[in-house]
Structure formats: C-alpha cells, structure tokens
Chain A
Amino acid sequence: MKNERINVSRREFLIHTGLAGAGFALGMKLPLGSTAIAAEAGAETATPEINAWVVIAPDDTVTIRIARSEMGQGTLTGLAQLVAEELECDWSKVTTEYASPAQNLARDKVWGSFQTGGSRGIRTSHDYVRKGGAIAREMLIQAAANDWGVPTDECSAQKSVISHAPSGRTTTYGKVATAAAKLEPPFDVILKDPEDWTIAGKPLARLDTRDKVTGEQVYGADLALPGMLNAAIRTCPVFGGTVESFDAKAISKRPGVRKVVQVGDNAIAVVADTWWHAKSALDALPVKWNEGPNAKLSSAEITKMLDDGLVSNDDVFTGNEAGDAAKAIKGAAKTIEATYSYPYQAHACMEPMNATARWTRERCEVWCPTQNGETALQDTAKAAGLPAEQCEVHKLHLGGGFGRRAIHDYITQAVTIAKELPGTPVKLLWTREEDIQHDHYHPVTKCKLTGGLDDKGNLAGLHVRLSGHSIAAVRWPGMVQAFNGADPLAFQGFVEDDMLGGDHSIGYSFPSLKVEHAMRNPAVPPGPWRAVNAHQNAIYMECFIDELAHAAGRDPLEFRQVLMKKHPKNLAVLNAVADRVGWSKPAPAGIHRGLAVFKSFASYTAACAEVSVDDGRLKIQRIVAATDPGHAVNPQQIEAQIEGSIVYGLSALLYGEITVRNGRVEQGNFDTYPMLLIPEMPKVEVILMPSGDFWGGVGEPTTVIAAPAVLNAIYAATGKRIREVPLKNSGLKIT
C-alpha cells in the first residue's frame, strides 16, 4: 500500500528472510495500521490527525483514512478523491491507509460503516467522507488565519496552500497541521457542487497500481510475521458433517509439523513451519468423517425441491403485485410460459481464503483480507473469547472479494487454531479445493414465468414464480424476520421503489403483475455473490420479455420501450445501447443481437450483445454496455469495473456451475470449475452516462447485464431458446 511508504521510521518494516548472508533479501512492507504503530512508537512521535479522515505530515503528505476495503473495485481511490476534493489538497501528495476497526470501536464508530458490499462503498458514504475533508480544510484555514491574525473569510485554500489575498501571505497545510489538529471542528460545512469538482469526477490513476505490477503488494496470503507458523485446513467435505476421528501420530514426524488441531466440530488443521509442509502433511493425515444428515444430498434432489416450489403454495411470498395478473393471463389472447434455472456458483477469488491470527489470554490480533473490518473484529473477538476492545483486525487489500469475504469463517478458523499456540502468529491459508468446496454459494433458483398477450400483442399480465435458495434466510435471519418470513433480496429488480430502498426497482409498468418467491433452502450454504440475486433475476425477466416480444411478433426494443415509458432513466440506458449498435438497421452478416436492461444497486444498466453462432460454435463478439450511476467519481475506473464485471457475469453464464453429489461439491479447482479466459473475452464498449442527481453503485450492477443480452442474441442467431445456465451444458461450443 502506498501509505506504508510515508514515514519509513514507523510505518515501513523490512522483513529479511534470513538469507541476507546469501546476498538475497526481500524488503516487504508490513501492513500495520498507523494507529497501532503510533501507539507502539510512542504517541508523541505520531503526526496528529486533523480529524478521523485526514492526517497531514509536516512535508505536506496527506494521508486519507479509508474504512471500506479495496478488492479491485477502486473504492480506495474513489473515496480518497472525494475527501481530497473537499480538503482542497494537492492530489499528488495523497496517500491512504485503512482506518483501524479497533480504533473505530474505541472512537464511537467515527468512520461509519466498514461494510464493503452491495456496491455501497461510495454511494452510502460520499456525504460524510466529503464532510470529513471539508471540516479538515476549514480547520487548516482557521489555523493559518489564527497565525496571521486575520479573519478566515479572507483566506482560501487550493492544492494544500492557504492564501491570504489582502496581504499576499501563503502557507502550506503541513506547516499549520499541528495547530489545526488542536482546533474545534466547525459545526457545519457546505459541500461543493459536483459541477465544481476538480479531483472527484476525474479519470485519475488508481493509488494502488504500482505495487500490484511489481509484486510488492502484500496480500494476506503473502504475510510473514516474525516467528509465524503456517496452517492448512480440511473441512468435512459433506455439508453439515463433522470430524469423527483423525490420527495425528501418522503425520507427527513429517517435516516441519508442529501441531494437528481440530477446528470446531467439522475441520482439521495442520500447523507447520511452512505452509507447504502443513499442506502436504494434511494430505497424508487419515481422517474419518461423520457425514451427518446430508450424506445423500444431490443436485437432483435439490432440483426436485425447486420444482416443487414452482407449483406449490408452501412457503411462498409475494414481492410485487399489481392488478390481477392471474385473471389477465386467463383472459389473454395468447399465453406464453417458460421455466428458467440458475445453478449454485462459487466466488473463486484469485487469492484463496486466509487469515493470520495471534492470540494470547489478553489480546487477539488478526491480519486478513475482509469486506468488513467491523464485523471481522466482532468475529475475531467471538472466536478469541475476548472482548472486542482487546482485539484488532489489520486489513490487507483483497485478492478478490465478490461477496465471499463478507463471511468470516476463515477468520474464526485462524483464531481457533492460534488459540492452540498462544503468542505465536499462525497464518491459515486454504487450498483452492477448500475454497471451491466450502464457499457460500451463489444461490440456486428456478423461475417459471407466465405472460398473457392481448390480441394486439400487448402484455396484459405477467406472473413470475421464483423458487429457490434464500441467502437472507441463512445469513441474515433478522431481515427475513422483519419481512414476516420473506426474503426481500430474492426480489431484486422486481420490486417497486418503496422496497429495498429503491435500489432494485423494476423498470417496467405492467398492466398486471405478480412476483412470488417459493423459499426452498437446501443444505448448501448460500452467500452474497457479486450482484447477489440480480444476476438470475435479470436473466429471468429480460429473456422472458424477449420471449414475449417475439411471441407478439414485435421488436424486442420497441416492446420494452412501450412498457418502460414511465421510467425515463431505464429507457435512456436502453436507448443508448440500441443507438450505439444501430439496432434499427440490420446487423452485419453472421452477427446477431440481443438486448437487456436492468436496475440494481441504484444504477441503471443496459447491454446489447452481438454474437455469432457457426456450426454450433458460439462466439460473443461484442458487448455494448451503458450505465447511469448518478455521479461518476472516477470515470476510467467505472469503465474498468464495467469491463471486469461483464467478464464475471459471462464466466458465470458460460461455465459457472457447482453441483452436489453425496452431500459434497463435485468441483474442486479451475480444471473442473473453469473461467472465461482472454480469447473468449468479447470487445466491451462502455457508455457511461451519469445523470447526476443520485448516487448509484458501480461494482455490481453491470455484472448482470451481459448474460441475458447474450442469451437473447443466441436466440436471434439460432431460433433456439436456452433457459439453463451455464452454456457449457447447452451443446454450444464456446470459442
């Protein structure tokens, strides 16, 4: 992290690997929070903060504290841009550091939310982080004005320089920072009009790129602490199964092995000097599992549960209802029905799950990648058996998150292991196989849609019956309780503005509509997965709308436009992609097009896919994607997120499938759970059209938009409707 460079004496540590004698040593920056180090170094040597968000050193270096986690989505840079904009500081002198979860607890949650999910990083904190910057600016100006004995309203600040125009005097932030830190913060500040932004809203370079291209970026998996031991873990392969017995003696003489630890009731860890020693010893460890009640669970059985949910009235919840859809469909001139399905999928972050923990009776510290420092601290405390006040979580940049690292099973395990070796730091690193087989999966669902068309080809009524796994029922039971047993998130993209904060509202006005969810929860752990339920819901709605348009003999664009009349922002992104590809004119020979439009995480998105299908060989040629995220804090990073999220969505569409047999996941690594690779990556054209009067998400919304567009394009190419994900099972050859 760039911030680790700013004060070498107390922030940068060199770990020598013990090979200095061989003339070979690697400098590694240890990502410790500044607060921890300041305390250790003696608080008097620490540069005082202006406020919780801003620390300014005498050399004018500005350190901006970031509470959300950087996992590739660029939130670190975007949030820093927002603070810096109001601070009026010199951007070239900005560095960042993570706010400390323990300090946050001690300081009455001064940094607000640490949660990094739901594409919320910027859209739910822009207000208070900008205020943090503005308040710091006012305090710095006040300090200069006090020094000069002039009124503050005669002073101004720009690029870290404070000027007093009447006298021509100037000073810098670094010179007045110590005095400013002692002032009372102003009660209120006025934020800049986004029209006047000079740092925010600009396509600035990320702050975290350099270390990522040199290999110097230290991820949790790379961490090396003095005296640290390494752990590898194996969890019972059957969901809900437990450890029956294991023979630690069988591996006790293997190189480097220090300890064999049962972790909770369902896992065994081997602790060794190196991870490779731990992992290879674990491979040789005889373990007997008690496979428990799910020993026979299979994908076929799960499919039966879902099929029941498509027709049964048990555990069915209504998420949206307008008019009498059943009656409208019954009286329709033409009725269309289709059933779609979407499988379990794994997150497969490139960096496997890991956490390093050091536990003593008095204190527990964890170093880890996490999407939520605050809950990571709570989970650390719980596993440590200590009050949270006696714990700390040191966050490291994530080698991918996608929702997986909002769930801290790996922290609980690391702390549990470290408790067996008091005072010794232990790094737990999962294998890829553990990662694929013990994920919290994208939920499995099916969806039956029934639509009625009148004699003019207009939609009279639509009935949507979702059936499948509820993430909330398993992970956030409080939410389900608040909705009388329903999972509101199951209805992402299908609800009106008064549900889910308006973030996931439907963009169509149907004459009549009923959307239901039959909750069916198999014994496979579900979890939030980049875009959560928007992914399958976008396919269900947008592919079925396409089916209805074709059944009505109407153009899929025109069919949507009519239903979308009352939703100008949805319509605008749809029209933008249609205009870009020239929808009204025929596609080039051999190219076939499909459309999709969807709102999720408060942003409006649309895509047009262009595909070719020759002799059963599918090639996704081009995706034109439009998004209206309201405000665009860093346009080039939004573009990167759109390109990347489309890859994530297309990987899922092409290959993503976790299946279950005998209670365990059948896939284990990238050979059986493949990903889209560079040759399959289509050309992506981004249309960024921020309309400026709201704050929408960026990391997730466009994840969902390519898949339905591609499916609709395949129909245009082949006349065959594919209603099951992934496409690897469709008979098409993916090229």
Chain B
Amino acid sequence: MLTTPIAGFPPATILRENHMAKLKVNGAIVDIKAEGDTPLLWALREQLGLTGSKYGCGIGQCGACTVLIKGEPVPSCMVTVDSVDANDDIVTIEGLSKDGSHPLQQAFTELDTPQCGYCIPGMIMSAAALLDSNPNPDDAAIDAGITNICRCGTYARVRKGIKRAAEIRQQEKA
C-alpha cells in the first residue's frame, strides 16, 4: 500500500535553484526551473505536471507532444525552454478549454474518436491550429495539416471529428 501521506505531497521532481525561466502557459506566467536546453515537452510534463502533452518519439515525428506557441502547432519535444520568449503564448491540451468543451473535444467525444487515446491530445492540438487557420478544412487541408501518428488507426474518426468540430464552431459563432 502507498503509505506516504496523501495531502501535501512534495513535488515529484527535485528542482535545481540556479536555472530559472519564465513561460506563459495556458494564460499563466510560470517559473520553470530547468536547464535552458531542456525540451519544452519535458518542462511542461516534469516541471508543470502538464502530462497531456505526450512523449512519443522525441524527434518531432509523431506529433503526440504538439502544443500551440503563438497559435502555431509545434512539437514541444523539439523546442528548448530558452528558445521560447516569456511572452509567447503556449497552449497545451489542458489549456484548450476549461471543461473539455472545445469544439474538437466535443466532436471527438461525440464520435468516440480515441481508442488508446495516447496520440489524441497532440492530434487535437494540431487540429485546433488547423481550424484556427482554416475554419472549414476539406480533405486535402486535413491531409496537409495533420501529420500526427496514431497507431490505433483512428484516422477516419479524426477526419470526421475535424469536420464535425468545424460545424460546431460555426454553430457556436452564429
């Protein structure tokens, strides 16, 4: 049994004092204590506990770690902490909506898109950027905009989900 007291956990990571950075994550200015060459992904996951951004490859291939930086979809494993300006807006899956109500989250829920679900936060972040730049993407735009890997093969419902989210978005705006 887990015998450690449950309330008042010490942080899961022991931070070094001498490396500090400020980041703007999901609207809040936060202090990061990590070497400047630490990939943003690991700062998000291990310093901020934002584990919705997943580690899948570490080389910017799979998209599971996708976050938005200044609105652009970026594999956070490929961006170092010190390359991000303190004023650059970083949005992770946790900051996409307060209650899972982003049109993509609604659409993916409605269609039961996720299977194992591990790629889904990154998939949603890539799709969110696509919808921001193209409110009504056709198949070709989805093909060009979504390069995330899903090993469960949810692509058909991802495609449907993006189109459905586009509809929800337009209904919400109307």
Residues of A within 8 A of B114 (CB): 72, 206, 208-209, 212-213
Residues B97-148 near A (CB distance < 8 A):
97, 100, 104-105, 108-109, 112-121, 124, 142-144, 146-148
Q: Mark B21-64, 1 if CB is under 8 A from A, else 0.
A: 00001001111001100110010011111111111111101101
- Report which of A227, A429, A640 forms a contact with B4, defined as CB distance below 8 A: A227
- Report which of B14, B15, B58, B117 forms a contact with A212, defined as CB distance below 8 A: B117
Say whether, besides A213-B100, A276-B39, A72 and B152 are in contact (CB < 8 Å): yes
**For the complex, is A586 an interface residue (Cβ under 8 Å from B)?**
no
> Are the C-beta atoms of A214 and B93 separated by less than 8 Å?
yes
> Are the C-beta atoms of A678 and B112 separated by less than 8 Å?
no
- The stretch of A32-40, A552-560, A716-724 that contacts the partner chain: A32-40
Residues of B within 8 A of A19 (CB): 11, 30-31, 47-49
Q: Mark B50-81, 1 if CB is under 8 A from A, else 0.
A: 11111111110110100000000000000000
**For the complex, is A681 an interface residue (Cβ under 8 Å from B)?**
yes
Residues of A within 8 A of B39 (CB): 276
List 15 A–B pairs whose Cβ atoms lie within 8 Å, in order of A's numbering.
A28-B49, A72-B152, A214-B97, A215-B50, A215-B121, A226-B4, A274-B46, A351-B118, A352-B55, A402-B151, A640-B112, A669-B58, A670-B57, A670-B149, A678-B158
Q: Mark A653-687, 1 if CB is under 8 A from B, else 0.
A: 00000000000000001110001111101011000
- Report which of B35, B119, B147, B158 forms a contact with A350, defined as CB distance below 8 A: B119
> Are the C-beta atoms of A644 and B154 separated by less than 8 Å?
yes
Nearest chain A CB to B15 CB, angstrom units: 8
Say whether, besides A24-B28, A276-B38, A640 and B157 are in contact (CB < 8 Å): yes
Residues of A within 8 A of B34 (CB): 274, 276
Say whether, besides A213-B114, A224-B49, A678 and B94 are in contact (CB < 8 Å): no
| Interface size of B as a range | 35 or more
Assembled-state Cα–Cα distance A676/B4 (Å):
45
Residues A175-229 near B (CB distance < 8 A):
205-206, 208-219, 221-222, 224-228
- Report which of A13, A227, A429, A679 forms a contact with B55, defined as CB distance below 8 A: A429
Nearest chain B CB to A622 CB, angstrom units: 12
- Report which of B12, B56, B109 forms a contact with A432, defined as CB distance below 8 A: B56
> Are the C-beta atoms of A256 and B16 separated by less than 8 Å?
yes
> Are the C-beta atoms of B112 and A72 separated by less than 8 Å?
no
- Report which of A210, A216, A274, A352 forms a contact with B52, defined as CB distance below 8 A: A216
Nearest chain B CB to A92 CB, angstrom units: 15
Residues of B within 8 A of A644 (CB): 115, 152-154
> Are the C-beta atoms of A208 and B117 separated by less than 8 Å?
yes
Residues of A within 8 A of B174 (CB): none
**For the complex, is A17 an interface residue (Cβ under 8 Å from B)?**
yes
- Report which of A17, A429, A647, A684 forms a contact with B12, defined as CB distance below 8 A: A17
- Report which of A32, A399, A643 forms a contact with B156, defined as CB distance below 8 A: A643
**For the complex, is B164 an interface residue (Cβ under 8 Å from A)?**
no
**Main SS of chain A's interface residues?**
loop
> Are the C-beta atoms of A273 and B10 separated by less than 8 Å?
no
Residues of A within 8 A of B64 (CB): 350
> Are the C-beta atoms of B54 and A350 separated by less than 8 Å?
yes
Residues of A within 8 A of B49 (CB): 15-17, 19, 25-26, 28, 224
**For the complex, is B163 an interface residue (Cβ under 8 Å from A)?**
no
> Are the C-beta atoms of A213 and B28 separated by less than 8 Å?
no
- What is the size, in residues, of chain A's interface with B at 8 Å between Cβ atoms? 87
> Are the C-beta atoms of B9 and A670 separated by less than 8 Å?
no
Residues of B within 8 A of A32 (CB): 2
Nearest chain B CB to A658 CB, angstrom units: 15
> Are the C-beta atoms of A647 and B16 separated by less than 8 Å?
no
**For the complex, is B171 an interface residue (Cβ under 8 Å from A)?**
no
Assembled-state Cα–Cα distance A348/B118 (Å):
12
Assembled-state Cα–Cα distance A36/B6 (Å):
14
**For the complex, is A23 an interface residue (Cβ under 8 Å from B)?**
yes
> Are the C-beta atoms of B50 and A72 separated by less than 8 Å?
no
> Are the C-beta atoms of A209 and B112 separated by less than 8 Å?
yes
Assembled-state Cα–Cα distance A23/B149 (Å):
34
Residues A1-29 near B (CB distance < 8 A):
13, 15-19, 22-26, 28
**For the complex, is A398 an interface residue (Cβ under 8 Å from B)?**
yes
> Are the C-beta atoms of A432 and B155 separated by less than 8 Å?
no
**Main SS of chain B's interface residues?**
loop
Residues of B within 8 A of A363 (CB): 1
Residues of B within 8 A of A601 (CB): none
Assembled-state Cα–Cα distance A675/B62 (Å):
9
Residue of B nearest to A352 (CB): B55
Residues A243-281 near B (CB distance < 8 A):
255-256, 273-276
> Are the C-beta atoms of A350 and B48 separated by less than 8 Å?
no
Residues of A within 8 A of B56 (CB): 350-352, 432, 670
Residues of B within 8 A of A219 (CB): 54, 118
Give 4 A-B pairs besides A365-B2, A640-B112 with Cβ atoms closer than 8 angstroms.
Answer: A210-B100, A213-B114, A222-B51, A276-B39
Say whether, besides A210-B109, A670-B62, A646 and B153 are in contact (CB < 8 Å): yes
**For the complex, is A636 an interface residue (Cβ under 8 Å from B)?**
yes
**For the complex, is B150 an interface residue (Cβ under 8 Å from A)?**
yes
Say whether, besides A16-B9, A26-B94, A432-B57, A647 and B118 are in contact (CB < 8 Å): no
> Are the C-beta atoms of A350 and B62 separated by less than 8 Å?
yes
Assembled-state Cα–Cα distance A274/B115 (Å):
29
Residues of B within 8 A of A275 (CB): 42, 46
> Are the C-beta atoms of A678 and B48 separated by less than 8 Å?
no
Nearest chain A CB to B64 CB, angstrom units: 6
Residues of A within 8 A of B38 (CB): 276
> Are the C-beta atoms of A36 and B112 separated by less than 8 Å?
no
Residues of B within 8 A of A215 (CB): 50-53, 92-94, 121
> Are the C-beta atoms of B52 and A17 separated by less than 8 Å?
no
> Are the C-beta atoms of A218 and B14 separated by less than 8 Å?
no
Nearest chain B CB to A531 CB, angstrom units: 13
Residue of B nearest to A214 (CB): B100
> Are the C-beta atoms of B12 and A228 separated by less than 8 Å?
yes
Nearest chain A CB to B154 CB, angstrom units: 6
**For the complex, is A237 an interface residue (Cβ under 8 Å from B)?**
no
**For the complex, is A74 an interface residue (Cβ under 8 Å from B)?**
yes
Assembled-state Cα–Cα distance A640/B115 (Å):
8
Assembled-state Cα–Cα distance A12/B141 (Å):
41
Residues of A within 8 A of B54 (CB): 219, 221-222, 350-351, 399
Say whether, besides A224-B49, A681-B156, A669 and B59 are in contact (CB < 8 Å): yes
Say whether, besides A677-B147, A681-B155, A205 and B112 are in contact (CB < 8 Å): yes
Assembled-state Cα–Cα distance A216/B96 (Å):
12
Assembled-state Cα–Cα distance A670/B143 (Å):
18
Residues of B within 8 A of A400 (CB): 116, 118, 151-152
Most chain A CB atoms below 10 A, which of B49, B64, B105, B157: B49
> Are the C-beta atoms of B143 and A679 separated by less than 8 Å?
yes
> Are the C-beta atoms of A15 and B9 separated by less than 8 Å?
yes
**For the complex, is A397 an interface residue (Cβ under 8 Å from B)?**
yes
Residues of B within 8 A of A226 (CB): 4, 9-10, 12
> Are the C-beta atoms of B51 and A399 separated by less than 8 Å?
no
Residues of A within 8 A of B97 (CB): 214
Assembled-state Cα–Cα distance A226/B12 (Å):
5
Q: Lowest 3 CB-CB distances: which A-B pairs, in order? A: A215-B52, A647-B153, A18-B11
**For the complex, is A467 an interface residue (Cβ under 8 Å from B)?**
no
Assembled-state Cα–Cα distance A227/B3 (Å):
12
Residues of A within 8 A of B53 (CB): 215
Residues of A within 8 A of B93 (CB): 214-215
